Structure 1
Amino acid sequence: MNKLKILLLLSFFNILTIGCSDNGNSINNDDFDGNGCTDVTDIFSVQLNTQIEIDDFINNCYDTVGLLSINGDDITNLEGLQNLTSVGSLFIHDANSLINLDGLNNLTGMIGSITLRDNDSLINIEALQNLTAVSSSLVVEFNIALTNLEGLNNISSVGESLNINTNEVLENLDGLSNLLSVTESLFIQGNTVLENLNGLQNVSSSLENDLILSNNSSLSSLNGLQNLNSVGRNLKIWNNDYLTNLDGLQNISSIGKSLEIENNGALTDISGLQNTTSIGISLLINTNDALTNLDGLQNISSIGGGFLQIQSNDVLSNLCAIQQISNTFTGQFIIEFNLFNPTRQDIIDGNCSQ
């Protein structure tokens, strides 16, 4: 398969050099209209690394590309790609002079995947507004100037994972407001000025794999996740300095593997988990400096044979919410370095608060 991709790429760049051909004959300028070649076709894979290659692309016969990869510091615009109407996978990375995606406006319908990564000047992705679904993954990460996701407004489904990661000035997720389903995983990580998850409020599905919310230092609310009803593997809430409660998770009834709530310095209330009844393997609640009680865990009736670990929560003095599960849990039971550290038997006997 790698040899085939290389051959296709070499063939494509030869085409860029000699022009389009039809039955072995070169097509001259009379065969083109103002918008490009009249006999359009497709190609499996294209990599464009310079502005010259972008500009020349309009002079070939392709309106459909299987994999389109764009990267290069001198790329300032994508206007030469305006003939494209369909792309299987779009990968734009390290195009550090690129401000917007204008030129991709004619992409419509479903796309296989979108990855926008490490584009230092990118501030506008509105050219993607005619895309309606992503069959694989949607990844927006390490774009240090991107403040919003307007342009993704018409995407209604993501077939695998949605990853919004380390976009330092991303202010909101409003551009995802028409998203109805994410099949596998949802990752919101390292977006330092993002305050809430509004924009995800219409996602009403069970995640087959993971929900990871971490290192969002301004995140104060999980509202926007209220229509999620289960997580197939891991629910991890880590290092969100301003998060005070877990409201927004109230409809999650089951977690297939582990629930991990760690190092959220302002977290005082986890009652948003009150409708969670089962955890597949482990429960870990560690280093949440302001957490005084575990109210919200009282309806958990089963945890698999992994860990139940409540550790290093400096002001935690009430553990009565885990009384029910303490009776049935068969794994490793660790309660230590909290303000109050009752034994498992103490909790079962009702000596669970100080």
Structure 2
Amino acid sequence: MQKVLLLFLSVSVLLSCSKDDGNSEEPSQNDVAFSSLVISEITGNSAKVSIAIVSSSETITERGVVYGTSSNPTTDDNKVALGSGIGEFQSTISGLDSETTYFVRAYALSSDIVTYSDSESFETSISCDGILNGAVVLNSQEDINTIGMGNLCEITVGIIIDDNGSGSPITNLEPLQSLKKIGSLRINNCSMLPSLSGLDNLIEIPNGLGISNCNLISNLDPLSSLSGELGHITFLNNDNLSSIDALAGITSLTREDGSKSILLMSNSSLVDLDGLSQLENVISDIQIVDNVNLSDFCGLNNLLINGSFSGNYFTNENAYNPTYQDMLDGNCSQ
């Protein structure tokens, strides 16, 4: 009787352990690691998306990106399949609506399980249509509004905005927001223009930028997408201009007509040149005079110490006036 009872207890214990072990198992899941998702080259109807699958515990049979106008899009929304396996992948998604916020994330499919990366958002710019081959002179707000109605992408030679009193004062550049490239840009005598808002989508001004006698403009922030080459920089008599930091993407000033590559004169609120810190190549003169609060020239260090500068350098009547040798010796501010 004791042997039968012991056998019964042993079988009961074994059955009980097998059942517990079975219940403790969790369903297998694919462990996928993504890199950070990068969104670039945003236009009015497209954007480039780049990401990588760094590792995966299962074989990735399909990967790609999904996007939509709601957060955390899924494969039931817009989907672009981009191969399989781990590694980098990218796609330019197109057919987007202008001035619209989109959400995008990557996905990985394995064993019928879909894993997503973190979601990122971006806003498409205003769309544009056409190129004007020539130059445009805009003397009033009516002129600004009229050229804006063309929804142009580019004006090849350039724009001169000069408030000469022939119409309503120039107060708003928003009608120009479709422009991506202008050969050159000069803004003169716009005493009632509070900012450069409306030029936010400009990515190229290859032949130069000039602003003079625009006393309400305090910064160049709407021009922060500019990068690479700019013909020259001329800022004259802008009493409220305190920052040129938005020019930090400019690396080269290539004016070749004998004029100044950099001319900064009588900008009484300007205190530093940090926006010029990425300059590597300047082929003509630098003249910086009568900026009464300018005491920090360290933004020119990269150019004068490490870069290529073939012009003349002149400073006078600023809060500090370092010589070329002062700059080379590291005495760039006071």
TM-score by length of 1: 0.51
Name 2:199's counterpart in structure 1. Answer: 225
TM-aligned CA distance change 1:248 to 1:162, over 3 Å: same
| Residues in 2 aligned to 1:333 and 1:276: alpha-carbon distance in whole angstroms | 19
Q: Which aligned pairs between 1:96-135 and structure 2 lie closer than 5 A?
A: none
For residue 298 of structure 2, the aligned residue among 320, 323, 327 is 320
1:249 aligns with 2:223: yes
Contact 2:180 2:204 survives alignment (8 Å): no
Counterpart residue number, 2:145: 173
1:283: how far off?
1.0
Matches within 5 A, 1:2-17: none
Query: How far apart in 2 are the matches of 1:200 and 1:224?
Result: 6
Distance across 2 between alignment mates of 1:235 and 1:156 = 22
Write the distance in 1 (CA, Å) between the matches of 2:185 and 2:303.
23
Mapped contact 1:319–1:353 kept (Cα < 8 A): yes
The partner residue of 1:329 within 295, 304, 309 is 309
Superposed displacement of residue 229, structure 1: 2.1
Give the secondary-structure state (helix, strand or coil) at the position aligned to 2:186.
Answer: strand
1:268 deviates by 0.5
Query: How big is the shift at 1:242?
Result: 0.8
Q: Structure 1 pair 271/173, CA: closer, same or farther in 2 (3 Å)?
A: farther
Q: Which runs of 5+ in 1 are unaligned?
A: 1-153
Of 155, 162, 171, 1:195 maps to 171
1:163 aligned to 2:103?
no
Instruction: Map 1:164-313; keep pairs closer than 5 Å.
Output: 164-165=138-139, 167=140, 170=142, 173=145, 176=148, 178-190=151-163, 193-205=169-181, 207=182, 209-281=183-255, 282-304=261-283, 306-313=284-291
Alignment match, 1:110? none
Alpha-carbon distance in 1 for matches of 2:273, 2:289:
12
CA 216–203 in structure 1, closer or farther in 2 if over 3 Å, else same: same
- How far the C-alpha of 1:162 sits from its partner, in A, is 2.3
Which segments of 5 or more consecutive residues in structure 2 lack a partner in the other structure?
1-127, 256-260
Instruction: Tell me, in whole angstroms, the C-alpha distance in 2 between the residues paired with 1:175 and 1:302.
Output: 34
Whole-Å separation in 2 of the counterparts to 1:265 and 1:170: 26
Distance 1:232 1:268 in 2: 24
**2:147–2:176 Cα contact (<8 Å) kept:** no
* Matching residue of 2:62: none
| Whole-Å separation in 2 of the counterparts to 1:183 and 1:298 | 28
| Residue matched to 1:89 | none
Q: Give the Cα separation in 2 of the matches to 1:256 and 1:291.
A: 21
SS at match of 1:220: coil
Question: For the structure 1 residues 232 and 342, does the alpha-carbon distance in structure 2 shift closer, same or farther, using more than 3 Å as the test?
Answer: same
Aligned counterparts of 1:270 and 1:232: Cα–Cα separation in 2: 18
Q: Which amino acid aligns with 2:224?
A: Q
SS in 1 for 2:246: helix
1:274 partner SS = helix
Contact 1:155-1:176 within 8 A present in 2 as well:
no
CA distance in 2, matches of 1:346, 1:323: 11
Q: Is the 1:253–1:278 Cα contact (8 Å) retained in structure 2?
A: no
Asked if the contact 1:171/1:195 (under 8 Å) is kept, the reply is no
- The residue type paired with residue 198 of structure 2 is G
Please state how far the C-alpha of 1:160 moved relative to its aligned partner. 1.5
Between structure 1 and structure 2, the one with the greater Rg is 2
What is the alpha-carbon distance in structure 1 between the residues aligned to residue 317 and residue 228 of structure 2?
28
SS of aligned partner of 1:231 = coil
Conservation of the 8 A alpha-carbon contact between 1:235 and 1:255: no
Q: Is the 8 A contact 2:230 2:250 kept in 1?
A: no
Quick one: which amino acid aligns to residue 266 of structure 2?
T
Q: How far 1:249 moved relative to its partner?
A: 1.4
**Greater RCO (Cα-Cα under 8 Å, separation 6 or more):** 2
Tell me how far apart the structure 2 counterparts of residues 278 and 321 of structure 1 sit (CA, whole Å).
14
Q: Which residue of 2 aligns with 1:120?
A: none
User: Structure 1's 174 and 274: CA in aligned 2 closer, same or farther, altered over 3 A?
Assistant: farther
- RMSD over aligned CA atoms reads 2.3
After the TM superposition, which residues 21-36 of structure 1 pair with which residues of structure 2 at under 5 Å, given as runs? none
CA distance in 2, matches of 1:318, 1:334: 15
1:107-157 CA-partner distances (Å, limit 9, x unpaired): xxxxxxxxxxxxxxxxxxxxxxxxxxxxxxxxxxxxxxxxxxxxxxx9854
Once the two structures are TM-superposed, the CA of residue 195 in structure 1 deviates from its matched residue by: 2.5
DSSP-derived class of the 2:273 partner: coil
Distance 1:175 1:162, change over 3 A: closer
- How far the C-alpha of 1:325 sits from its partner, in A, is 1.1
